[in-house]
DNA sequence: GTTGCACTTGAATTACATCA
DNA sequence: GTGATGTAATTCAAGTGCAA
């Protein structure tokens, strides 16, 4: 019961606050100390319409002028010194706490926007990397096919040379050993030694 | 004790759907 | 087709708790 009365009192104060114009700094200075003494802070009661609902809406939202000035200041500096905050509050007819809250929320929005931008940048980099990976993979497949064909060809040539002369070491075996590796370097070694053998026998 | 930040709440606004 | 009504989604000021 006592608690109920306390809450009603708070709501009454809040309703009174709601009727004060944002630019009416004189009226605000009368109310502000009451607000400062009200501890702990209470959540606003849900307004279920009625004659004050529209007025409440007008009060709650900062005017375009106020927002413009705040934006201008935010453009210069993302954090406010307490002196500047007070000056701004006075200039706009708002509670310094409202200025602080606005800057806090604005910083949060700015941070979110930055994160979104960063995300979309990383996303496009990622897409590029995926594309490049696909390209490289298909290149690897093509090279493997080429290597396989070359391997077969060398094998056939080696067999032919082995058939012609049984004196030297087996060329085909040398080639096989050289082809234990997978790619170009190995292929070059094999090809070079093959040419050397050919020169010997020519 | 103060301030900033992340998270949350509640009121207002907007966008859209449904119905008479 | 249109205005009234309901409602989900979004926006924004403010509350809360915690850390520095």
Q: Write out pLDDT tens, residues A158-188.
A: 988 888 766 555 555 454 444 444 444 444 4
Between CA A123 and C1' B11 the distance (Å) reads 36
CA atoms within 13 A on the CB side of A122: 6
**Nearest-angstrom CA–CA distance, A193 and A172:** 11
Between CA A49 and C1' C3 the distance (Å) reads 22
What is residue A94's predicted lDDT score, i.e. its pLDDT? 86
What is residue A53's predicted lDDT score, i.e. its pLDDT? 32
Helix (H, G, I), strand (E, B) or coil at A114: helix
**Nearest-angstrom CA–CA distance, A147 and A184:** 8
**CB proximity list for A152: less than 8 A, separation 6 or greater:** none
Q: Write out pLDDT tens, residues A103-155.
A: 999 998 888 888 888 888 898 999 999 999 999 999 999 999 999 999 999 99
Q: For strand B, give the nucleotides within 7 A of a protein CB.
A: 2-7, 9-13
| Average pLDDT over chain A, rounded to an integer | 65
Q: Which of A18-32, A37-51, A159-173 has the highest mean pLDDT?
A: A159-173
Between CA A55 and C1' C7 the distance (Å) reads 23
Which strand (E) or helix (H) includes residue A35?
A: helix A25-37
């Amino acid at each position: 019961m006592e608690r109920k009365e306390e809450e009603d009192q708070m709501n009454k104060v809040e309703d009174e606050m709601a009727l004060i114009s944002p630019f009416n700094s004189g009226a605000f200075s009368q109310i502000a100390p009451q607000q400062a003494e009200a501890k702990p802070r209470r959540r606003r009661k849900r307004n279920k319409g009625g004659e004050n609902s529209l007025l409440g809406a007008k009060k709650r939202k900062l005017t375009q002028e106020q927002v413009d000035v705040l934006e201008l200041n935010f453009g210069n500096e993302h954090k406010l010194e307490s002196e500047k905050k007070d000056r701004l509050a006075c200039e706009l007819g708002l509670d310094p706490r409202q200025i602080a809250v606005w800057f806090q929320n604005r910083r949060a929005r700015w941070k979110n926007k930055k994160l979104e931008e960063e995300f979309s940048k990383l996303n496009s980099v990622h897409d590029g990397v995926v594309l490049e990976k696909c390209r490289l993979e298909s290149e690897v497949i093509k090279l493997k096919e080429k290597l396989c064909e070359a391997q077969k060809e060398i094998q056939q040539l080696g067999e032919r040379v082995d058939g012609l002369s049984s004196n030297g070491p087996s060329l085909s075996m040398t080639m096989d050993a050289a082809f234990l590796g997978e790619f170009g370097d190995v292929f070059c070694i094999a090809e070079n030694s093959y040419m050397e053998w050919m020169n010997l026998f020519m």
